[in-house]
Amino acid sequence: MAMALAVASARSNDGTPRFNVIGVDLPTPAGRSKIDGINSGNLPIASTDAKLLSAFQTAQATGNLIATADPAAYEIADVVVVDIHLDLEECNGKPHVDFTGFRAAITELGCRLRPGALVLIETTVPPGTCRKVVAPTLAEALQTRELPADAVLLAHAYERVMPGDQYFDSIVNFWRVYAADSTAAAERCEWFLSQVVNVADYPLTRLGSTVASETAKVLENSYRATTIAFMEEWGRFAEAVGIDLFEVIAAIRRRPTHNNIRQPGFGVGGYCLTKDPLFAAFSAQHLFELPGHSFPFCEQAVATNRDMPLVSLRQVTEQLGGTLQGKHLLLLGISYRQDVGDTRYSPSETFYRAAIAQGAAVTCHDPLVSHWSEIGQDLAAALPAAKGFDAVILAVPHAEYRQQDWLSWLDGQNPLFLDANQVLDNAVLTALKQAGCQVAAIGKGKFQ
């Protein structure tokens, strides 16, 4: 959605739109909901980004953004930006990618696009996908129309999206990497991105091949996932010896070479870090036929991050006397990160399911989510009263939770507070302790 709005926002020197944008989605209930939202003037995603909301309103007023489920839209396209979910699953303990739906979409493009059109793959894919999956699929479809394989141009350019209040800027005002396996495709891709991205301040980086560009995206996310996992063992150490790891990290970050050191938290979620590190092993084994090539750091990072919410669950269980049977928990935050309403692969889902399995009743709240589709649960907009809860788990540092007056909210109650994601500062945690609440924090342990 953010890329569609960025393209729709691109303007020529005289202020006129550079592009008319048609968003295409599947005719599923979810797809129809997004299509209807766009066409009726309702942004179909929850966002705290004022620039994104403004871009949507401008596109609506200008009339250069519409949505449809009709693939005939491809027949008039000069550029198609492909952002299709490509899920990774484990099969017999090994990463597996099912390209069926992805191939079907690429085949549709090959059967409909005009010669000279650009197919720009933004989907995060295993390295080698453009060369070994997309290009042959396009060529096969083009052959049915008696067109050469190079009739349609193919390039890869990945986003460095940062959902939240910087969502729009992470598309327009940020560095982009791109590549193609032909000069014509690379030049066309560069031209297109230069119309959308602020290249004067954020120059494009062109790599030597689509495999290199695909690798850059997967490596970026693998690096981030691995460094997050690395901090988990230090979080457990800090809790055991009674130090504040966040204080330690703040001191380390003053060193310029270490200012991006990560920190422990509630868990890793979203569509990228939970799976992208495993794309490398799939690529080596299935696309490049390198069966002996493994990625143990990436695999261990994913496994470590997947278990992070269970660390918080164990903390709560221990603080509540060793059992959750009959306990009532308030889980605050179910999106995968702060200031977004996206619940895909949320660590809160792992926590919720495990707590329920252990006999707890769990009430969930999130200021940006009204329906938790993965659980099939509607959420109340208002924060529930404190009465009846044995524990409050602060899982996501939404602005609303940081600004909440927790002492007033208590209203005489004294539940356990577990700050699982550095949501509250030490002054608030101390005040809760003084008010009679049991207090603990990930990376700090039982708060003194």
Where are the chain's structural domains?
2-214, 229-446
Residues near 25 by Cβ (< 8 Å), separated by ≥ 6?
31, 32, 34, 35, 67, 69
- Angstrom distance (rounded) from CA 88 to CA 326: 36
Strand partners, 378: 371
440: exposed, middle or buried (Cβ count in 10 Å: 0-12, 13-18, 19+) = buried
What confidence score (pLDDT) does residue 337 get?
87
At residue 318, the pLDDT reads: 94
Q: What is the pLDDT of residue 432?
A: 96
- 92 falls in which pLDDT band (50, 70, 90)? confident
Q: H helices then E strands: how many in the chain? A: 17, 17
What is the per-residue pLDDT across 370-424, written as a single tens digit (0 to 9) for each? 999 999 999 999 999 999 999 999 999 999 999 999 999 999 999 999 999 999 9
Q: Which residue has the tokens 């490509």?
A: 86
Mean of pLDDT over the chain: 93
On whether the CB atoms of residues 393 and 352 are closer than 8 A, the answer is no
Count CB-CB contacts under 10 A for residue 304. Answer: 19
284-288 long-range contacts, CB within 8 A, separation 24+: 285/94, 286/97, 286/126, 287/126, 287/127, 287/128, 287/129, 287/132, 287/133, 288/128
Angle at 31 between CA 29 and CA 35, to 5 degrees: 115
Rounded Cα distance between 278 and 299, Å, is 6
Q: Does domain 229-446 have CATH number 3.90.930.12?
A: no
pLDDT at residue 69 tops 80:
yes
Pick the CATH number of 2-214 from 2.70.98.40, 3.40.50.2300, 3.40.50.720, 3.30.70.1450: 3.40.50.720
Q: How far is CA 333 from the centre of its chain?
A: 15
* Backbone Cα Rg of the chain: 24
